[in-house]
Structure formats: structure tokens, C-alpha cells
Amino acid sequence: MVKRSILHMLDPMPNNSPFDVNMAVDAGFDVLIPYNNVKLDSIHGLTQDAIFSRSPSGIKRTGIFIGGRDLGLAMDMLNASKQAMVAPFEVSVFADPSGAFTTAAALVTCAEKQLQEKHGQTLNNCSVVIFGGTGPVGIATGVIASLAGAEVTITDHLSIDTAMDVATAYNRRFNCTIKGALASSESDKTGLIATTDIIFCTAKAGIQVLSANVLKEAKQLKVAGDVNAVPPVGIEGIKNNDYGTPLIHATNSPGALGIGALAIGNVKFQLQHELLKAIIGPEQPLFIDFRYAFEKARQMHF
């Protein structure tokens, strides 16, 4: 008899994400077990409780999903779970806090595809500015783009110290080269985008970050992606379904292209679905973080 598939959903927050629960069901898991307020020091014990209750063949149909909002904590939890495995009792672990890993992977992949197809360039040595860069999606986007060879600046709208502290922390953790900057005024934003190749907007939903007046100051913009689907969108002129659509307000960058939230979200949805399916019954356990998600997104869309 084939064992039912079980996903243990470990979350340091008071509630698991309904989005992730729905996605796991639709990916084919038979049973979902949510755990809330999970501490890092509980991961070892929870993992070993999960792995020793089934035979080596049955354990392949057991998975662990790590949520939350803190990217660093999610990575620490993934690593702690991996270290708790005892062969041949090993299960796959998928970390995606706030959906940030799959969203960021989708965002960067969409931009990279447009950059290559329409401008004949790669991310390597391109300049990238991320507005709302100190939130979960912004950080993950910055790390992915930096590791892909881009020159990345993440911004905070209140404090340059916050932006620089986040950049320093994640540079140290992942050996990347992110810079931090302040984007509190129109002047700040104009200066940041004047000579950048790619703009990512990962700021809070329902807030316009870049107006038409700011966008017209961009001199070499090639691609702009916005993950905010709630009006007003983060970048004026980008529509939710845009995918490689001319960015009309970037008048001094005639080749600039916009990518909207629903286009990015479609790739994110497909990506998360495939990754959840992948951890049901693989021959060898998978340990999925933002790097794995990005490579999978590239495979799916190039």
C-alpha cells in the first residue's frame, strides 16, 4: 500500500500562510500538518520525529515546508533540519518564507529573460536598484541578482542605516556584494535610477514608489519589474499583465520594458507548484532555498 504524502509545515509566526496551505494541497499532498510559533532550537527534534516514523520507502512521501517572514531564520531552520537527518531516513525540505524565495526567483527570471531577448544582455555587470529592498522579497531578489553577477543596490524609504545593515548582513551570509541606499525623496529616487539598467519594485502593496516624473530621468533603463498588484502599482505606467511591454514613462530610455505583478505572479505560482510537487517522493532528498528556486525558474522559462 502506497503511503499517503504528508507535509509538515513549520512556521515561526502565529499562523501558517493560507496561500502556502492552498498551494500544498493543489500540488498533491494528502495531509498537511501546520506548526506555529516554531523556534529554531525545536527544528532538530521536530525533524527527527518526522523521519523515524516511517520506513525508508515511506519517508520519501514525507516533506517539510518552512515559512515565516525572516529569510535568515528560514535558512537557519532549513540547515538545522538538514543536519538532523539520519540516512536512510531523510526527507525533502523546502524553505519559502513569505513566498519570498519563489517570488524573487520569478521576478529576477522574468527580468533576465526580457533583458536577454530584447537587449542581448545578461545580469552579469548590470546595475540593479531594488525599491522596498529591505523586506523579504526585496532581500531575496537582491541576493539572487547579486549572486548572478549584477551590481545591486537595495533601498529603504526611511533609513539608510537600515538598508546598509541589511546589505552587510546578507553580504556576509551569502558572499554577495549588495549596497544600501536611502530612497525617501523624489531626488533620492531620481539619483538612484539615472544610470541603472534594471529596477525592481518590491515595496508595500498599494503605494506608488516611482512616478512618471521620476521615471523620465532614467537614462539607460532596460527592464522594470513590479510585484505590487494593488492599485496604485509601485511603478507608474506598468500594468499588472505587462510582460516586456514598453514602459511609456521612461521617455529617456526608449527601449525600457515593464513587467507587471500578475505576469510575475504567474511564474511564481508555477514555480512554487513544481517545487512542492518535487518534494513528494524524490529518490534523493531535496533541500530547496532561493538558489534552487532560481535555477528551477530559469529551467522552466528559458
Domain that holds residue 104: 100-264
Q: Going residue by residue through the chain, which has 302 residues, state the pLDDT in tens, using 9 for 90 and above.
A: 678 999 999 999 999 999 999 999 999 999 999 999 999 999 999 999 999 988 887 889 999 999 999 999 999 999 999 999 999 999 999 999 999 999 999 999 999 999 999 999 999 999 999 999 999 999 999 999 999 999 999 999 999 999 999 999 999 999 999 999 999 999 999 999 999 999 999 999 999 999 999 999 999 999 999 999 999 999 999 999 999 999 999 999 999 999 999 999 999 999 999 999 999 999 999 999 999 999 999 999 88
Residue 298 lies in a domain: no
How many domains does the structure of the chain reveal? 2
Query: What are the E-state strand segments in 16-137?
Result: 31-35, 62-66, 92-95, 127-131
Q: Are residues 249 and 207 in the same domain?
A: yes
Give the end of a domain, one of 95, 116, 141: 95
Give the end of a domain, one of 42, 67, 95: 95
Its pTM stands at 0.97
Residue 277 lies in a domain: no
Q: Are residues 139 and 217 in the same domain?
A: yes
Locus of grid cell 529551467: 299
Decide: 250 and 213 in contact? Cβ < 8 Å.
Answer: no
Locus of grid cell 523556534: 39
Residue 278 lies in a domain: no
Return the CATH number at 28.
3.40.50.10280
C-alpha cell at 161: 542605516
Q: Are residues 80 and 118 in the same domain?
A: no
Q: Are residues 181 and 244 in the same domain?
A: yes
